Chains A and B, each alone.
Chain A
């Protein structure tokens, strides 16, 4: 085996690729050849490091030096300084947001320091297209242990002991779920992986599939052994082409080594895994709809019971978990259920990956122990709010979740505490909003999404989401009446209790949660016809502050309807009857002379 004195890890996740990491990787490889270092230094394309904001990311080992926002022009300096002379390139290091200090090492960056990576253990550290790298990090050892030293019943028991709960939304105990499918009689069963990650603002499953596909395959195989399945499906969104490609490579490599397919590891246990590409329907993330879609039908949910564990895919007993759940499984068998359960809270064990997005300084993926406070996630890992604005709310759980205000930021995060606050874990999307986000607009945004994605099978969801959206639209347009709030609450309650599947049952959550914590914003829209955050354009009026206006004319030139007039070097004025409230003038004004409100 060839040994290298240094490794250069270039992130090949979707975030960094779109920031240009492929070109960086090529440039580094070329530069190494040019400087005759290609026999000493190896370039590795890895999966996502999670810190997409700072991409393209390059990490140089053995030191673990973390370079961010690397450009092609930086490559020759990086190679000659770091790899030839052994000097860190200071200007490419990460700068801590508040102190502006440069942080050379990966482990010292606040974004990573508080994380505890289990599901993401290999993401960014291995080349996902080489199974040997996964095996070198103890990959497939958990499967070997389960197959050679445990009965399927013991595997289910171990899962129950671990306390792992489904990471895709509802948080159902995984061991229990496996137990149900294991007990269902029948020679043919299916193991299914839900990789139809559709919640806007969540991308942890994409990251795991792109960065560590074997961990998902291994988790599925352990599950297949436990329930007695010999065939499985991974249902992946077609919007994730890179994830699909890496899964295909991973399946082929595992089959070649006898870790997947017939007679796995010579134990007599066989299981084949297939990939199904989704065709673009959010509701297919619901398990019964997902199975209908695999069968080639419209992806509409079916009433439960019968549960998939009894009658699932092609009417056979089936077990379905999501990507992050399966990625946790090998660790449980490698280190034991007790070790896994030592992290987390009483009823929520282990860690959870959150996708930090919105108005944050550091956006990306962060895996933290259950029980950490939202404040720690947002302010310590996320670095606080962009542009020194004020925190207003954090939206958790995507279209099924809710908004949590400042006063609850110290609540320890787990499945149950979030539900008590009117939100839910969901898939772990965490969108931070500042004072410039309007809560009525946010509720409308989510209802618009669920309404479009409602499959139309059951009346409460089909009609209810439509009517709720209409009311929200009316409020945003300035035509709301006080009764609208009570109608929203009543209608929301009905839809929640009567819709057929999870999509409909949780669709009112964004409204109910914002009404709970931000009722005053609804009232301001309805009673005062004002949008306090300055978002709903129908309720805004643009004005020029004469004292600040220098009369430069920039606003008048950009105004598409000619609503701004004034003499040169004299304060200008806006004709509100002509103004279409597009906001172009505010963007152009250099003197903060235009205000909206």
Chain B
């Protein structure tokens, strides 16, 4: 007798959400990227199990999904911090001292570009342009844009994000 149904653990809240997303996009053209974006919103990153599930449901080979995930800067295969620090190193920020802001972030939270703190409080990334060049140098923490920065205010500013 098949035991699968009785052995299976109840679905997590995240898995239920993912099912809804997959149902919404079922059979639609070009669904992969929006589904990955939604899955990352649910889980905070893209765990391997989730990619396998998406592969099975959308009938897209896992290899192709892996190719797409690793191509775009937005997708992450590892857990990320609760607060995402994005320091702009675009042209306007570059000529107005963006690199000094980047150094100040490293000094304040102890991680380099691309790293996540062990307590998962912060992830630090550099980006090429946030489109707020009038306020250079700029950084974004989560959805808040902070402009006209100086290195000495960075630590206090980051401290606000728990």
On A, residues with C-beta under 8 Å from B are 14-15, 17-19, 51-53, 55, 197-203, 206, 238-241, 276-282, 293-300, 314, 355, 357-359, 363-365, 395, 398, 429, 431, 433, 437, 442, 445-446, 449, 452-453, 455
Q: Indicate if the CB atoms of A197 and B131 lie closer than 8 Å.
A: yes
Q: Indicate if the CB atoms of A437 and B74 lie closer than 8 Å.
A: no
- Most chain A beta-carbon contacts within 10 A, residue among B90, B129, B133: B133
Chain B interface residue number, banded: 35 or more
Kindly list chain B residues whose C-beta atoms are within 8 Å of the C-beta of A51.
134
B37 an interface residue at 8 Å Cβ cutoff? yes
Minimum CB–CB distance from B72 to chain A (whole Å) comes to 4
Q: Indicate if the CB atoms of A240 and B73 lie closer than 8 Å.
A: no
Minimum CB–CB distance from B54 to chain A (whole Å) comes to 11
Kindly list chain B residues whose C-beta atoms are within 8 Å of the C-beta of A437.
95
**With A202-B129, A239-B130, A431-B91 in contact, is A295–B30 under 8 Å at CB?**
yes
Q: Indicate if the CB atoms of A277 and B34 lie closer than 8 Å.
A: yes
Kindly list chain A residues whose C-beta atoms are within 8 Å of the C-beta of B147.
15, 18-19
**Chain A, Cβ-Cβ closest to B65:** A296
- Contacting B68 at CB < 8 Å: which of A198, A297, A364? A297
Q: Indicate if the CB atoms of B73 and A357 lie closer than 8 Å.
A: no
Q: Indicate if the CB atoms of B94 and A296 lie closer than 8 Å.
A: no
Chain B, 5-29, CB within 8 A of any chain A CB:
29
Q: Please encode chain B, from 58 to 74, with 1 for each CB lying within 8 Å of some chain A CB and 0 for all others.
A: 00000010011001111
B144 an interface residue at 8 Å Cβ cutoff? yes
Q: Indicate if the CB atoms of A201 and B144 lie closer than 8 Å.
A: no
**Chain A, Cβ-Cβ closest to B64:** A297
Q: Indicate if the CB atoms of B71 and A299 lie closer than 8 Å.
A: yes
Minimum CB–CB distance from B74 to chain A (whole Å) comes to 4
Q: Please encode chain B, from 132 to 148, with 1 for each CB lying within 8 Å of some chain A CB and 0 for all others.
A: 11111010000111111
30 inter-chain pairs at a CB distance below 8 angstroms, sorted by A residue, are A15-B132, A19-B147, A19-B148, A52-B132, A52-B134, A52-B135, A53-B134, A200-B92, A200-B128, A201-B90, A203-B133, A276-B33, A277-B34, A279-B37, A279-B74, A280-B73, A280-B74, A282-B128, A293-B33, A295-B30, A296-B32, A297-B68, A358-B91, A363-B134, A429-B91, A431-B91, A431-B95, A437-B95, A445-B94, A455-B71
Q: Indicate if the CB atoms of B71 and A281 lie closer than 8 Å.
A: yes
Chain B, 97-155, CB within 8 A of any chain A CB:
127-136, 138, 143-148
Q: Indicate if the CB atoms of A364 and B92 lie closer than 8 Å.
A: no
On B, residues with C-beta under 8 Å from A are 29-34, 36-37, 64, 67-68, 71-75, 90-92, 94-96, 127-136, 138, 143-148
Minimum CB–CB distance from B135 to chain A (whole Å) comes to 6
Contacts A279-B75, A363-B134 known; list 8 others, CB within 8 Å. Answer: A15-B134, A18-B145, A18-B146, A199-B129, A200-B128, A300-B71, A357-B91, A395-B91
Kindly list chain A residues whose C-beta atoms are within 8 Å of the C-beta of B29.
295-296, 314
Kindly list chain A residues whose C-beta atoms are within 8 Å of the C-beta of B132.
14-15, 18, 52, 203
Bound-state Cα–Cα, A295 to B28, Å: 10
Minimum CB–CB distance from A66 to chain B (whole Å) comes to 16
Kindly list chain B residues whose C-beta atoms are within 8 Å of the C-beta of A297.
32, 64, 68
Q: Indicate if the CB atoms of B131 and A281 lie closer than 8 Å.
A: no
Kindly list chain A residues whose C-beta atoms are within 8 Å of the C-beta of B134.
15, 51-53, 55, 203, 357, 363-365
